[in-house]
Structure 1
Amino acid sequence: MSTITKSRGAEDTRPSALNTPSDISAKAHPVVAELNHILADSFALYLKTKNFHWHMSGPHFRDYHLMLDEQSDQIFATTDPLAERVRKLGGRTVHSIGHISKLQRIKDNDATFVSPFDMLAELMADNKAVAASMRKAHALCDDHNDVATASLLENYIDDAERRTWFLFEATRGADSTGH
Structure 2
Amino acid sequence: MADAHDRRLAPLRTPTSLSEEATRDVSAALTGLLADVFALYLKTKNFHWHVSGPHFRDFHLLLDEQAAELFAMTDPIAERARKIGGVTLRSIGQIAGEQRILDNDADYVDPFDMLAELRDDNNELVGWMRELHELCDDHNDVATASLLENWIDESEKRVWFLFEAGRRGNA
TM range (shorter): over 0.9
Task: Give the 3-state SS of the residue equivalent to 2:76 in structure 1.
Answer: helix
- How far off its partner does 1:173 sit? 3.2
Aligned with residue 40 of structure 1, among 18, 32, 35: 35
**Given residue 10 of structure 2, which amino acid in structure 1 is its aligned partner?**
S
Instruction: State the percentage of identical aligned residues.
Output: 62
**Given residue 32 of structure 1, which amino acid in structure 2 is its aligned partner?**
S
Q: Is the 8 A contact 1:25 1:89 kept in 2?
A: no
1:112 maps to 107
Counterpart CA distance in 2 for 1:135 and 1:146 is 14
Structure 2: runs of 5 or more not aligned: none
Q: Comparing 49-58 with 28-37, which one deviates more in the overlay?
A: 28-37
1:23 aligns with 2:20: no
1:6 aligns with 2:8: no
| Pair 59,13 (structure 1): closer, same or farther in 2 beyond 3 Å | closer
TM-score, normalisation: structure 2: 0.93
- Larger Rg computed on CA atoms: 1
Structure 2 matches for 1:152-171, cutoff 5 A? 152-171=147-166
1:95 aligns with 2:86: no
| Pair 132,93 (structure 1): closer, same or farther in 2 beyond 3 Å | same
Aligned with residue 142 of structure 1, among 122, 137, 149: 137
Q: Could you list the runs of 4 or more consecutive aligned residues of structure 1 that deviate by over 2 angstroms after TM superposition?
A: 4-7, 12-16
1:126 aligns with 2:121: yes
Structure 1: runs of 5 or more not aligned: none
Task: Give the 3-state SS of the residue equivalent to 1:109 in structure 2.
Answer: coil
Larger helix percent: 2
Counterpart CA distance in 2 for 1:155 and 1:24 is 22
